[in-house]
A and B are shown apart, each in its own frame.
Chain A
Amino acid sequence: MKNIIEVKNLTKEYRNLKAIDDLSFEVHEGEILGLLGPNGSGKSTTINCILSLLKFSKGSIKILGKEMKPDSYDIKKDLGVIFQEVAVFEELTVYENIDYFCGLYIKDKTTRKKYIKEAIELVGLEEFKKFYPKQLSGGLLRRLNIACGIAHKPKIIFLDEPTVAVDPQSRNSILDGIKKLRDQGATIVYTTHYMEEVEILCDRIIILDKGKVLATGTSDKLKELAKIEEKVTIEINNLQPEQIEKIKQLENVDEVNYNVGNLIITYKKGKNNLGELIEHLKKENIKYNKIYSERPTLNDVFLELTGKELRD
């Protein structure tokens, strides 16, 4: 597989804080790569370093086989970036904003017109072309922000937490749009601290913490790292300590946690664990409200690797 971006031994320090610590990874052609990590893990800093917006103390960055520098305009023409904050002109309409940012890349008017139309369709802003940013809701603003970043049809697209504080409808529209861009041939680097998003969106995931790569792989590969096979949650009121003790004795059970009416049982291996558990509850005559079984999540992976939750 062709490497579109190669980051090697990247280190970035802010005074005495190591925001990025000897980071190395690649981005493959045509994939959506997810950079997953909690707030402050160095996702934005990584992107800003790759784009030469920040100077870094060590390491090298190659994009499309060439070293990236602040004046690498031949590389920049193939890049599209959507930052965390919405960056548009208050004085311009939706259409004019896209036209301006697209115009920084595309000089030809007819091509630009076509591209702007396609960008507006992609993010679903057809009805808001003449609106000013002030008149748009938060979700629509994010969509405009994305349209401004991708209208020039870049080969590589960076999105830095584009769905933070966005309503579910806009979020779905944004995620669909990103998939469409990938299907049209773009390579995408997507940062987020929402694990659900990387699971449904990304072809490959890099888990970051404190500026370091913790793990890399597909969602399924990463989950193997969680060392647990299954997690069962049961809503039970007034469970007695001796009853909990009995459950712990069941086959394959790894850990049992009970608090505020929720009993969480994790299994490291085994089959039909849930069935046996239900049978046991019946035999003991323990009444429960709901019972459900889950495969481990990326949060469990993160918990396993760092000892803390992904979400703060």
Chain B
Amino acid sequence: MTVFKTFLKVLNKCKFVIILYTVILLTFGAFNMTTSENSTNFVASKPDVLIINNDENVGVTKNLVEYITNNSNNVDVKNNEDAINDALFYREINYIIYIPQNYRQDILDGKNPEIEIKSTGDYQASYAEMLLSRYINIEVIYAKEIKDEDKLIEKINNTLAEQTEIEITSKLDTDSLSKATFYYNFASYSILAGAIYVICLILSSFNETKIRKRTIISSMNYKKHNRILLISNALLAIALWIFYVIISFIIVGKTMFSIQGVIYIVNSFIFTICALTIAFLIANLVNNKNAINGIVNVIALGSSFLCGAFVPVEWLPASVLKVAHILPTYWYIQTNELMKTIEKFDIESLKPVFINMGVIALFTIIFVIITNIISKRKRKIA
């Protein structure tokens, strides 16, 4: 109890830091919420799509073009590779559909012609992709049974109209899911920075050589003393996590009461435990209170930038993302990003989520092992 009480007193001395990181999280979170509300609603209902039709604009081909055009902003870009690439880069368009020659004939023959696409990879693009794949799926299925072109078109259009309801709800979800993803991505910074900062400060007080000597010669079992410190720090990290989860319910709202919501929460919990072990590792390496500030910046800020906690993942160059694979934050954010695109939850679609979580757990185990090795070596020297 004595150790825990003193833990709280020392914690009380650095509460300012926790408040600071929370305020940063809330400020950016709230800022994003207000700005994204207008823009994402608009874009989500109508992504910018360019259709390059190499087939004749008649029959089923014409119907496809009309369906996409009705459900998106049709953008006019010169049909020239450079202009198209520029437009993609500057996000003037999210999605390009190349309809191949003989598309109509292939469909009518019961084939499944390949449609080339180009995409910005963001969720507006994934919305366009959803439109396209839904259309094609329906078209291919009915084309096998219905040989009359007019009847086929009618059947396709009726089926699509029935599904509009679902489309609208799914569209709304995309909007608030992107909010939640942004919030939880950003929380990775607050959790990591807060945990490292506070835990390192507290442990550097308890582990200062002089004070450690006093503790070792006391009649309190030193292993027990360390265990209490470990549990206290874990409680602190979990309290921080619970607090951030509660805020996410307030900011994101009812989307949190869904499978996605549960995954955000579980994912952030696993990440918090990982952050805890990172903090312990650093606290074991560094005993200098003045160095902690710099280390927090390098590790928390650095990994947050590299892994896309602040900027959308799609904006990062592939080489950066490749490097980011060695950071737990990357796997955490990948799961959050997946939540925006997964529509149906089954073993298959959740597989990448489980893999990501498994990787973070693996990182956690590795950090624990390294920390143990280092602290054993340190005890020998003392």
Binding site for B on A (CB under 8 A): 51-53, 70-71, 73-74, 76-77, 79, 81, 83, 85-92, 96, 99-101, 103-105, 107, 148-149
Contacts and interface: CB of A to CB of B under 8 A. Distances in A.
Q: Which 3 A-B pairs have the closest CB atoms?
A: A103-B2, A87-B210, A77-B219
Interface string B314-350: 0000000000000000000000000000000000000
Contacts of A53: 213, 216-217, 382
B298 interface: no
B301 to A, nearest CB: 26
10 contacts: A53-B213, A73-B220, A77-B219, A85-B210, A87-B208, A87-B214, A89-B6, A89-B205, A105-B219, A105-B220
B10 A91 contact: yes
Interface string B18-57: 0000000000000000000000000000000000000000
Interface in B199-214: 205, 208, 210-211, 213-214
A51 B217 contact: yes
B215 interface: yes
Contacts, number: 67
B214 A148 contact: yes
Contact of A96 (B6, B213, B215): B6
Given A87-B208, A96-B6, A103-B2, A81 B214 contact: yes
Contact of A76 (B6, B12, B218, B225): B218
A129 to B, nearest CB: 15
A104 B13 contact: no
What is the size category of the interface that chain B forms with chain A?
20 to 34
Contacts of A99: 2
Given A91-B12, A99-B2, A103-B5, 7 more contacts: A76-B217, A79-B217, A87-B208, A87-B214, A91-B205, A104-B225, A107-B1
B221 interface: yes
B216 to A, nearest CB: 7
Given A83-B210, A85-B210, A86-B210, A100 B6 contact: yes
B216 A104 contact: no
A89 B382 contact: no
Of B6, B10, B205, B217, the most chain A CB neighbours within 10 A belong to B217
B201 to A, nearest CB: 9
Of A74, A90, A91, the most chain B CB neighbours within 10 A belong to A91
B9 interface: yes
A215 to B, nearest CB: 29
Contacts of A105: 218-220
B9 A92 contact: yes
Nearest to A148: B214
A74 B220 CA distance: 10
Nearest to B220: A104
A73 B221 contact: yes
Given A87-B208, A87-B210, A104 B10 contact: no
Of B12, B211, B221, B382, the most chain A CB neighbours within 10 A belong to B211
B213 A101 contact: no
Of A74, A100, A105, the most chain B CB neighbours within 10 A belong to A100
Contacts of A77: 219
A104 B216 CA distance: 10
A76 B213 contact: no
A88 B213 CA distance: 11
Contacts of B211: 87-89
A53 B381 CA distance: 10
Contacts of A87: 208, 210-211, 213-214
Nearest to A132: B13
Contacts of A148: 214
B236 to A, nearest CB: 15
Given A86-B210, A105-B218, A91 B9 contact: yes
A100 B219 contact: no
Contacts of A91: 9-10, 12-13, 205
A205 to B, nearest CB: 25
Contacts of A71: 221
Contacts of A83: 210, 213-214
B221 A92 contact: no
Contacts of B225: 104
A104 B382 contact: no
A303 to B, nearest CB: 34
A96 B9 contact: yes
B239 to A, nearest CB: 19
Given A89-B205, A91-B205, A104-B2, A73 B217 contact: no
A80 to B, nearest CB: 9
A286 to B, nearest CB: 56
Nearest to A48: B213
A73 B219 contact: yes
B233 to A, nearest CB: 16
A114 B309 CA distance: 53
Interface in B155-178: none
Contacts of B382: 53
Contacts of B10: 89, 91-92
A103 to B, nearest CB: 3
B197 to A, nearest CB: 15
Given A83-B210, A86-B210, A90-B205, A104 B9 contact: no
A79 B216 CA distance: 12
Contacts of B217: 51-53, 76, 79, 81
B205 A104 contact: no
A17 to B, nearest CB: 17
Contacts of B12: 91
A76 B220 CA distance: 9
Contacts of B210: 83, 85-87
Contacts of A101: 214, 218
